[in-house]
Amino acid sequence: MFVFKNRRPFEAPVTIEIPKADGTFDAHSFVGHFVVLPDDERRTLYEAAGGGDKGTKAVLDASLVGWGADLTDEGGHPIAFSTETKAALLGDTAIFLALNEALARGLIGKEALRGKN
């Protein structure tokens, strides 16, 4: 049975691939907390921001509502959720892309996303 809940929350792993000097990548992950936006709200946010990366960023800003204690600072201390930190994460290209992929995987499923690559 599926129980419909408007703006239902979900958690998804966010994996950031950090390039190294030798051309390989280090993967770092944390758990992102998201909500599923109603389609009309998602579309309005996307279009109002001008579409493209700006539209995607607007949707991510509204969808990302927190993260797990596994998102830490350089000292290993968990970073508390704040709008300022969220803006900083969305402003980092690698993290922005990883958040977008995590949101998409959470909405349509890992295998569906993999099939589009």
- The residues facing 31 across adjacent strands are 13
For residues 88-116, average pLDDT: 83
pLDDT for res 1 = 86
Number of other CB atoms surrounding residue 80 within 10 Å: 10
- The answer to whether the beta carbons of residues 37 and 58 sit under 8 Å apart is no
Whose tokens are 């921001």? That residue is 49
15 falls within a domain: yes
78 falls within a domain: yes
For residues 30-39, average pLDDT: 96
What is the chain's Cα-based Rg?
Answer: 15
39 falls within a domain: yes
pLDDT confidence of 10, banded at 50, 70, 90? Answer: very high
Which domain covers residue 84, as residue numbers? 9-111
For residues 77-104, average pLDDT: 96
In angstroms, the Cα distances linking 28 to 15, 19, 41, 90, 110 are: 6, 11, 31, 16, 18
16 falls within a domain: yes
Domain count, the chain: 1
Share of residues in the chain with pLDDT > 70 (%): 93
pLDDT confidence of 112, banded at 50, 70, 90? Answer: very low
